[in-house]
Amino acid sequence: MNYRHAFHAGNSADVVKHSLLIALVRALQQKQSALTLIDTHAGCGLYDLIGDQAQRTGEAAQGVLRALADPNPLLDDYRAAVQAVNKDAEPRLYPGSPQVLAQLLRPQDFLILNEKHPEDAAALRSVMRDTPAAVHQRDAYELWLALTPPRTPRGVVVVDPPYEKTDERERITTTLAAVHRKWAHGVTVIWYPLKDRATHERRKDQLRKLGIGKFLCVEHWLYDSEQPGIYNGAGLHIVNPPYAFTEALPPLLEALRTALAPEGHRGKLAADWLG
Ligand X SMILES: C[S@@+](CC[C@H](N)C(=O)[O-])C[C@H]1O[C@@H](n2cnc3c(N)ncnc32)[C@H](O)[C@@H]1O
Nearest approach in angstroms of CB 116 to ligand X is 3
Which residue lies nearer to ligand X by CB, 37 or 249? 37
Which residue lies nearer to ligand X by CB, 118 or 251? 118
Exposure string of 87-103, with b = 16+ CB inside 10 Å and e = fewer, is eeeebebbbbbbbbbbb
Pick the binder of ligand X from 140, 176, 249, 252 (CB under 6 A): 140
Q: Does the annotation mark 167 as catalytic?
A: no
Of 130, 160, 196, 272, the active-site residue reads: 160
Residue 27 in contact with ligand X, rule: CB under 6 A: no
Residue 43 in contact with ligand X, rule: CB under 6 A: yes
Residue 110 in contact with ligand X, rule: CB under 6 A: no
Which window, 1-9, 198-206, 207-215, 243-251, contacts ligand X (CB under 6 A)?
1-9
CA distance 224 to 217: 19
Residue 5 in contact with ligand X, rule: CB under 6 A: yes
CA distance 60 to 50: 10
Instruction: For the segment 152-171, give every residue that binds ligand X (CB under 6 A).
Output: 160-162
Residue 131 in contact with ligand X, rule: CB under 6 A: no
